[in-house]
């Protein structure tokens, strides 16, 4: 069997290529790393999250969250405070400057994503969106991290069974 025909490989390579197109926008134009972008995205939506919530809602581990948060704080884009209820956790909040930067970057990222997806036939795009949702639901049905079957993964908000 050749790796190029193995579906998980093809999916990963395609997802990475799509992601790199977006990284080129927020990285080059706005100076954000992939990890910083993810944290700003979540914080812009939620306003404030603690370090455990951020780790659970992304594919980033605690160290990646901590390092990206430190860089964002250094740029004045977020603030972080130690939680009184659990001193191991940090509470992160997006600043007005962080929100303004994110909204500018998001507009450009959204434009690039629309350009790429718009190059697809509308029927293919609709089928692709259904396929992504179906794959997410299938993984949720067969994944049981507590019993050693698969690893936990972040689920899109609004997905059946997503938190």
Which residue did the predictor score with more confidence, 148 or 81?
81
Cα–Cα distance, 102 to 41 (Å, whole number): 7
Q: Look at the chain and count its residues.
A: 163
Q: What is the pLDDT of residue 159?
A: 56
Structure tokens at 19: 């992601």
The third-level CATH classification (topology) of the domain covering 3-112 is Arc Repressor Mutant, subunit A (1.10.10)
From 86, 103, 84, select the one nearest 41 (Cα to Cα): 103
Cα–Cα distance, 32 to 71 (Å, whole number): 9
Edge-to-edge strand list for the sheet holding 48-50: 48-50, 90-94, 78-82
CA dihedral 22, 23, 26, 30 (to 10 degrees): -150
Average of per-residue pLDDT across 144-153? 76
From 162, 113, 116, select the one nearest 140 (Cα to Cα): 162
7, pLDDT greater than 90? yes
Cα–Cα distance, 77 to 96 (Å, whole number): 8
Q: What is the pLDDT of residue 157?
A: 60
Q: Which of 9-18, 21-30, 37-46, 150-159 has the lowest mean pLDDT?
A: 150-159
Q: What is this structure's pTM?
A: 0.82
In Å, how far are 23, 54, 116, 119 from 113, measured between CA atoms?
A: 11, 24, 5, 10
Residues 6+ apart with CB under 8 A from 142: 149, 150
DSSP 8-state class, residue 92:
E
Structure tokens at 161: 């069974």
158, pLDDT greater than 80? no
Residue 162: band (very low, low, confident or very high) from pLDDT cuts 50, 70, 90: very low
Q: What b-and-e string marks burial along 111-131, b requiring 16 or more CB atoms within 10 Å of the CB? A: eeeeeeeeeeeeeeeeeeeee
pLDDT tens for 25-68 read: 999 999 999 999 999 999 998 888 888 888 888 888 888 888 99
pLDDT tens for 63-101 read: 888 899 999 999 999 999 887 777 778 889 999 999 999
17, pLDDT greater than 60? yes
pLDDT tens for 97-143 read: 999 999 999 999 999 999 999 999 999 999 999 999 999 899 888 88
């Amino acid at each position: 069997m050749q790796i190029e025909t193995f579906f998980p490989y093809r999916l990963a390579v395609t997802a990475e290529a799509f992601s790199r197109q977006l990284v080129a926008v927020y990285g080059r134009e706005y100076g954000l790393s992939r990890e910083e972008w993810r944290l700003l995205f979540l914080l812009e939506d939620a306003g404030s999250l603690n370090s455990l919530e951020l780790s659970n809602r992304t594919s980033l581990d605690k160290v990646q969250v901590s390092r990206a948060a430190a860089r964002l704080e250094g740029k004045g884009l977020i603030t972080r405070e130690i939680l009184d209820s659990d001193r191991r956790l940090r509470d992160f909040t997006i600043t007005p400057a962080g929100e303004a930067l994110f909204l500018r970057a998001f507009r450009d990222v959204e434009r690039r994503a629309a350009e790429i997806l718009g190059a697809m036939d509308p029927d293919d795009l609709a089928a692709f969106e259904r396929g992504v949702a179906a794959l997410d639901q299938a993984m949720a049905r067969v994944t049981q991290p507590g019993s050693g079957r698969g690893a936990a993964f972040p689920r899109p908000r609004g997905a059946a069974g997503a938190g």
